[in-house]
């Protein structure tokens, strides 16, 4: 057991931003929520997966909606607990632990605030190992765990419990309700038992995010290469160092797609193209696919190591693109059906990252 206090939040948010692979929402407001909750209720205990009793009830708490709305309509602060209590009411039992549903972006921070408010410990792990845009894109779906009942709560105290025939349907219904509720709600869903954690979670990702954020900060402070520091923690491969020379955004076939073209700098040759939707999903080097979802394609500012989101991609940015292998369960046929390139509308198969 360890604790997350206020001092860890900056590193954790930076690391979570990188693991957001360009999406997941700016962790800034989430970080402030976690900070205020810890200030009021004290630091949050964090347990490794192996320390959780087999009969424990672990509930992921997260935010759903538009990150831009979260920046403007700040939460009431009651949403997380209201969603959790609504879920517990239909479950007929209380949660014993809270866990992040996704480690990438703002949803790494919401569960910290929720755990502090509920007086519950966190489990060190998450259900994606990165950021994905839809509620069914979680490892529990692969082991037959249902994301329903799914409880949603808004700032006004409205709650809604979704029951659905599949995890995909729950996503569809919840998304529609979320729009009616002001495009920003808290969710409690995808309940796990203690003995399901090994199969349902990517382990130790809270620790990973914090280590990652710290490594980048220390490298920068010591005038070392922050991208190398990030790779040292993540164990991925440097795909390209370049400069953004073109960004194109369009909507086709219901997908809001973007593509960024990078030209070489610093002894690099050739070009790299990045295809993105909410997250970076595909990287082509000189026309050849070198990385695809569900592997993590992280874009970092070459000098600072700070994550570059898909919204902030613009001409002139000096960035380094790194590829990080996803959890191996995502590259099974079932995993790829859920979050592989074809699900996102790309006519290609997943291919493993090049050797480092």
Q: Which residues are near other proteins by CB under 8 A?
A: 29, 32-33, 36, 66, 68-69, 71-78, 155-157, 179, 182-183, 243, 245, 312, 314-318
Output 166 or 312, the one with its CB closest to other proteins.
Answer: 312
CA 215 to the chain's CA centroid: 19
Q: Is 168 left (phi over 0), alpha (psi -120 to 50) or beta?
A: alpha
Cβ proximity to other proteins: between 32 and 161 the closer is 32
Q: How far is the CB of 69 from other proteins (least distance, A)?
A: 5
Please state, in angstroms and rounded to a whole number, the distance separating the CA atoms of residues 283 and 289: 6
Tally: H helices and E strands in the chain: 11, 18
Q: Min. distance of Cβ 16 from other proteins in angstroms? A: 18
Nearest distance in Å: CB 244, other proteins: 10
CB nearer to other proteins: give 43 or 77: 77
CA angle 161, 81, 59 (to 5 degrees): 70
Location of structure tokens 């360890």: 2
Which strand (E) or helix (H) includes residue 264?
Answer: strand 255-264
Nearest distance in Å: CB 250, other proteins: 15
Sheet with 280-285: list strands edge to edge. Answer: 288-292, 280-285, 271-276, 255-264, 237-252, 318-324, 296-301
Query: Whose Cβ is closer to other proteins: residue 65's or residue 325's?
Result: 65
User: Which CB, 211 or 311, lies closer to other proteins?
Assistant: 311
CA 19 to CA 297: how far, in whole Å?
Answer: 9
């Amino acid at each position: 057991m360890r604790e997350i206090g206020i001092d860890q939040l900056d590193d954790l948010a930076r690391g979570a931003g990188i693991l957001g692979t360009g999406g997941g929402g700016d962790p800034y407001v989430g970080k402030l929520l976690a900070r205020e909750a810890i200030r009021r209720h004290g630091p949050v205990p964090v347990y490794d997966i192996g320390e959780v009793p087999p009969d424990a009830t672990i509930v992921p708490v997260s935010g759903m909606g538009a990150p831009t709305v979260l920046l403007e309509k700040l939460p009431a602060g009651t949403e997380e607990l209201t969603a959790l209590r609504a879920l517990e009411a239909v479950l007929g039992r209380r949660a014993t632990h809270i866990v992040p549903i996704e480690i990438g972006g703002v949803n790494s921070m919401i569960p910290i605030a929720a755990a502090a408010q509920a007086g519950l410990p966190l489990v060190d792990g998450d259900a994606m190992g990165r950021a994905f845009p839809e509620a069914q894109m979680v490892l529990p779906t692969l082991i037959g765990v249902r994301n329903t009942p799914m409880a949603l709560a808004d700032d006004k105290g409205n709650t809604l419990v979704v029951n659905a025939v599949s995890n995909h349907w729950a996503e569809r219904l919840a998304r529609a309700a979320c729009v009616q509720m002001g495009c920003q709600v808290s969710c409690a869903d995808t309940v796990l038992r203690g003995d399901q954690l090994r199969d349902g979670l990517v382990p130790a990702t809270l620790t990973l995010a914090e280590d990652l954020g710290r490594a980048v900060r220390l490298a920068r402070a010591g005038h070392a290469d922050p991208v190398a520091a990030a790779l040292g923690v993540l164990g991925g491969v440097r795909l390209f160092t370049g400069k953004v020379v073109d960004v194109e955004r369009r909507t086709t076939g219901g997908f809001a797609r973007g593509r960024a073209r990078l030209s070489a700098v610093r002894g690099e040759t050739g070009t790299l193209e990045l295809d993105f939707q909410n997250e970076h999903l595909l990287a082509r080097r000189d026309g050849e696919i070198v990385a695809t979802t569900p592997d993590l394609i992280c874009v970092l500012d070459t000098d600072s190591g700070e994550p570059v989101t898909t919204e902030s991609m613009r001409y002139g940015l000096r960035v380094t693109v790194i590829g990080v292998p996803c959890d191996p369960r995502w590259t099974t046929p079932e995993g790829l059906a859920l979050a592989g390139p074809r699900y996102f509308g790309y006519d290609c198969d997943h291919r493993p990252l090049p050797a480092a």
